Structure formats: structure tokens, C-alpha cells
Structure 1
Amino acid sequence: MLTKVYGSAVFGVEATTVVVEVNVARGIGYHLVGLPDNAIKESNYRIAAALSNNGFKIPGKKITINMAPADLRKEGSAYDLSLAIGILTASGQINAGNLDDYVIMGELSLDGSLQPIRGALPIALKAKEEGFKGFILPESNAEEAGIVEELLVFGVKEIT
């Protein structure tokens, strides 16, 4: 099953929306494409531990993740939550029917709690500009993102 989740890349004070496409299909493997840096490539370890420690699982199937636009370098661990929500939705472990309305960012700890991210304000501004209804991010960044009017901001403590 194919799922799309929206995140954002921050360069200085500018943000660019990133589409995280997650496909779970028959087979075995984990493939991450779209110019991710090492922190993003290592995300599968953080995500697997966080999901396992919260009653979810990495499906024993072929997982293909594309981060678009593919020619834009993606950096940092702030995509963990986007990738995890994509995996959970594509594998049918959660029902998140309105993902298109939200930008989702956050670094996962191994216990599933969320660590702060950089660039919450530029991401929130870009989300509003592009017509997203809301922004889901670590609770510790909610006040910063909440400055942006007419954008719902959901600060969360953990993946559950």
C-alpha cells in the first residue's frame, strides 16, 4: 500500500515541503531514496526501536521510501516521525485518513518520545503558505510554531 506524508526541509530561514512516499509491498527489504543524509539513513534503527517499544512493528515486507523532490538534499533526524507515520499507515497498523492536511516532523527517541527539531517556525510558515491545515511536531516546538496564525499546531510527546 502507498501512503504520502508531508515533511519539510529547512535551509537557513527558508523551508521547502518534502513529500515522503512510503510503499509497503510483498518481499523483504528497506529502501530509502531521495538524497537522504546519514542521519536519515540511520532512522530505520530509531524507528524500529520506537515502534517496537510502543506496541507497533516494522512490517516484515519490502518497504520503499521516496523523499521528493529527489534532487533536494534532506538532512537530519527530524524526518523520523514522518517516516514512522508513513510506515504505520502503509502497513495498515494505523488509520490516518487525512495525512494530506498536515506537515509532520519530529526526531524519535528509542522509547518513542519526541525530541525537538530545528526550524519549526519556517516550516510552519511554509505549511500555512501551501494550504496545510496543521503541523504535528514535538511538544517542545509547539510554542514556536504556534506563532503562525490560522495553522493548527499539535505538539506531541510521543509516537503513541
Structure 2
Amino acid sequence: MVDNSSLPPELLGPRLAEVYAVLGPLYRRVARLVEQDSPRNGLSIGVRAVLERLELAGTAETVPQIARALELSRQFVQRMVNDGLEQGFVELQSNPAHRRSSLVALTEAGRTAIQALQAKEHETMGHVGGDLTDADVATTLRVLRHMLAAVNEIDVQPS
């Protein structure tokens, strides 16, 4: 039976560590699946992240803006943007606010590619099973968002 009372920190920490232990392999497995499908759809996991970010933002963004939003290095995002440019998934637009930092925008081909990948993913995820309810998913998202917020508050010092 599940206890619905709040957990004290000494019990919460180990339980949330279990979540991380499941998320890591899950994330890596999904990344491998996307990479395996890459020859068919042309999307690496990095290009996919950039396309999803641009779709979510609903507007063109600079490489530094994308990098901040995804918590990735600017250099990595720039490489992914370059890959996306070669594939015709993104285009560069002039940036009236900053001459040297172009805006990156989704092309129609990029929008089509990311939406097709998401549709396939949604179909696959729809078969997860386990009699999951909307409340189950809402609780999972609430927990993950709390974990993300807590981790974001930690000041990481370079070693």
C-alpha cells in the first residue's frame, strides 16, 4: 500500500534517487532508439533537441538562447544547428537585435520532420500499458519538475 503522507528528507532522498536510477537508462534507451531511426528521419538526438526547442518556443532563437534553454554548451548547439542547416531543417535569419548572432528558425522540412518523429514516439508511448491514469502521469510530471527545480537551485562549482 502506498502512503500518501509527505516523506521526510531522510526518506525522500533515497526514493528520488530511485527515480534517477530509472530515468538514466530510460533516457539512454530512448536516445538510442532515436539514433537508430536517424538514417530514416535524418535526426540525431542533438538536432532533434534543437528542432523541438524551436517548435516549443514558436519563434526563431539565437544559438545562445537555445543553448541556455536546453542547458547545453553553445558549441554543441552550434554544431547541431550546422547539421540542421545541412539537412534543410533550420535556416538562419538576420537578427535585428544583434548583427553577429543570427536567429535560427525551423523550416517547413524541419517542422515536418520533428512532428513525424513526435507522432511516432506518441504512438509507441501509447502502448506502454500498466493501466496508467492521467493522475499517474500528472504526479510523475509534478515530481520530475520539483526535482528539476531543486537541482537548478544547486550552485555547481567547477572542480
Taking structure 2 as the reference length, what is the TM-score of the superposition?
0.24
Q: Higher helix proportion, which one?
A: 2
Taking structure 1 as the reference length, what is the TM-score of the superposition?
0.24
Q: Higher strand proportion, which one?
A: 1
Larger radius of gyration: 2
